[in-house]
Structure 1
């Protein structure tokens, strides 16, 4: 097999593969056998028809077509491996030459154009030191958590006064465009100042009492008219203020297993310290990835980036074509970081000579299935049937490569003290708490497909 490689872009190559007759013949023989199992030819049993007879009766063209369909994907994979090319997407395949008869000496020739991972020269890890900020728990951190706990035990009490920031208003909303109502909601509870609804609603509600209403202009955030400007009428049905319990020993006894407020605060401080350890490990991971990327010029495959940006926009808006400039910018930045991280971690996994077992892949998929509340075995089978098992293997490899890489370097805090991250770099750490966007999107797609299949099944009588 002769392979020539032409670089079209830093992340795109064109492979021209010419297959020797001796290498293509086994595919022709396999095609003849497969066809022989499916046809009835007088005088011969199924599966025992000589190849020459298949060529005569069925036609060499049909045999060659079957052989090409089997040969090209396999030979393409071999060509990638031989030339050490790491594809980032499905290739564009163009079969250019095929023998027209068993005696034709024309060689199978095909061209594959594919986006590839660029060559990435990672730094030497042994002896590499990475600084991570030393976290500390402040009184403010403890007070913030205590206040959150206090709010969980708060109660809403109706007040006879205009709404103010922090109050909860029960409201009715009607949105109109060109005097036509396009959306309406009734009895919605909204906290003034939370910024969780339409732009301008906080300013519109502040100062209104129960029974009063007003209008304001805003951009709709969802539905068929997402992104369009609308006139919104809002009516206040009631105003409630949150009353919080006093911070004393009685509260500590009601909200926890402790008898005093001081004991509760001490426990909250311990929780904060434990969370900061985990946060420091996350910071160490981010610092590690940033360090090995430092100084590297990593070009991104344009087609892969475009597809990922579109998927990212679909996650934030129903119609990506109507996305705002800010949404597009944020999606591009997110995808660019995601892609660079993925490619660097793939290169790191190779550098660390990471091996991925079948059991590790199945554990990874089972953890995703659990997140979606699905049967792991059924989910894994769906992933295999959809041809997505390779992505799962790659994701596990990235995680293992990162763990191996982090174990090879030294982490220190800002005071020069070595950090012990062994608790976070053990076997359990090989399963990332936050899966990549790509893995999560693939999982969601499979989960949705399975759910749709269940909905379409006829109900049992």
Structure 2
């Protein structure tokens, strides 16, 4: 197989692949076998029709078409491996030449254009030291956490006065468009100042007492008339204020297992310190990635970025077609950062020769299923059938590469060594994990699919895992 590579962009290549007859013939033979299982030819049993007869009765063009459909993806994958090209999107395939008969010496030739992961040079990890800010716990931090706990034990009491910010009003709402009521709600409890319902509602309620009502213009945020302006009538049924308990030993006993307020405060401080350590680990991760990317130019594939930005935009607005320039820019920036981090971590995992095991993939997907309250086997089976397992394997590889990279460098905080082993694991655990059965993405897909199929008694979808 002859492969020529032309770089169209730093992140886009064009491969011209010419396949020798002896390399294409096995695909032709397999195509004849498959076609032979599907056609009835007098004098021959299904599946036992000679290839020459298939060529004559069905036509060599049909055989070659089947062979191309099955062979090109495999040959394309071989070409990527040989040229060490890491695709980031599906290729555009153009089949240019196909033999016209079994005796035709014309070689199969096709062109694949694909966006690829750029080649970048990462700094050496040996001897690298990264300083991370030391988290500090102040009395103000403790007071804020204590106030949040205090609000959980607050009660609402009715007040005979106009509503103000922080009060809770029981209200009736009615929205009209062109004189027609399009939505109404009764007995809704709403906290003034929370700005969690209609724009303009907080301003309309401010200063109203029980039994009073007013009308304002607002934009509907849900339902059939979402996004339309409406005249909204709001009536206040009652006003309640939050009454908080006193901060004393009695409160500590009601709100916790401690007998005194000082003991409760000490425990809150300890919790904040633990939270600070977790944040410090996150900051260490971000600092590590920033250090890797320091001085490294990371070009991002344009098409992949556009698709990723579209997905981000969907999370920012219900109607991407009506997105603001600010939302579009936010989506593009998020997509670019996400892709740069992926490229960085994929390159790091490759540099560290990270291996992904079957157990790694299974545990990763099972943990996601658990987060969403789904049956792990059903979830993983769906991932396999939808062809998404490769993405999961890549994500696991990035995660393992990140942990391995962070274990290979030194972290300090305020000039002192910073121990992150509670978050990163230790080298011994990493070595034990590496001793597991290591597999490439395709093998991981097949293994997980086979295991799922065995559990369910279904036919294994491993052949279609990629």
Q: Do both share a fold (TM > 0.5)?
A: yes
Secondary structure at the residue paired with 2:416? coil
Please say which of residues 64-73 and 221-230 is displaced more in the overlay: 221-230
Rate the CA distance shift 1:94–1:325 in 2: closer, same or farther, 3 A.
same
Q: Hey, what does 1:279 align to over in structure 2?
A: 279
Secondary structure at the residue paired with 2:298? coil
Residue 410 of structure 1 deviates from its aligned partner by 1.1
Secondary structure at the residue paired with 1:93? strand
Cα deviation digits, residues 195-228 of structure 1 (max 9, x gap): 3223332222211112222233344433444444
Extract unaligned runs of 5+ from structure 2: 434-466
In 1, distance between residues paired with 2:336 and 2:214?
44
2:174–2:185 contact (8 Å) kept in structure 1: yes
Residues 248-267 of structure 1 mapped to structure 2, 5 A cutoff:
248-267=248-267
Q: Hey, what does 2:367 align to over in structure 1?
A: 367
Please say which of residues 230-239 and 146-155 is displaced more in the overlay: 230-239
2:407–2:426 contact (8 Å) kept in structure 1: no
TM-score w.r.t. the length of structure 2 is 0.88
Cα deviation digits, residues 143-200 of structure 1 (max 9, x gap): 1111111111110111111111111112233344444444433322221122322333
Secondary structure at the residue paired with 1:423? helix
Q: Hey, what does 1:53 align to over in structure 2?
A: 53
Q: Hey, what does 2:376 align to over in structure 1?
A: 376
Q: Hey, what does 2:23 align to over in structure 1?
A: 23
Secondary structure at the residue paired with 2:379? helix
Q: Hey, what does 1:340 align to over in structure 2?
A: 340
Cα deviation digits, residues 372-423 of structure 1 (max 9, x gap): 111101111111111111001000000000000101111111x211100001
Q: Hey, what does 2:299 align to over in structure 1?
A: 299
Cα deviation digits, residues 68-125 of structure 1 (max 9, x gap): 0111000111111112211111111111111110011111111111111122211111
Rate the CA distance shift 1:23–1:393 in 2: closer, same or farther, 3 A.
same
Cα deviation digits, residues 208-259 of structure 1 (max 9, x gap): 1122222333444334444444443332222110001111111111111111
Residue 318 of structure 1 deviates from its aligned partner by 2.4
1:222–1:318 contact (8 Å) kept in structure 2: no
In 2, distance between residues paired with 1:332 and 1:31?
45
TM-score w.r.t. the length of structure 1 is 0.89
Q: Hey, what does 1:454 align to over in structure 2?
A: none
Residues 415-426 of structure 1 mapped to structure 2, 5 A cutoff:
415-426=414-425
Extract unaligned runs of 5+ from structure 1: 432-461
Residue 427 of structure 1 deviates from its aligned partner by 7.4
Secondary structure at the residue paired with 1:120? coil
| Correspondence 1:4 to 2:15 | no
Residues 15-414 of structure 1 mapped to structure 2, 5 A cutoff:
15-413=15-413
In 2, distance between residues paired with 1:132 and 1:138?
19
Question: What's the RMSD between the two structures over aligned residues?
Answer: 2.0
Rate the CA distance shift 1:250–1:117 in 2: closer, same or farther, 3 A.
same
Rate the CA distance shift 1:181–1:388 in 2: closer, same or farther, 3 A.
same
1:227–1:322 contact (8 Å) kept in structure 2: no
In 2, distance between residues paired with 1:175 and 1:309?
35
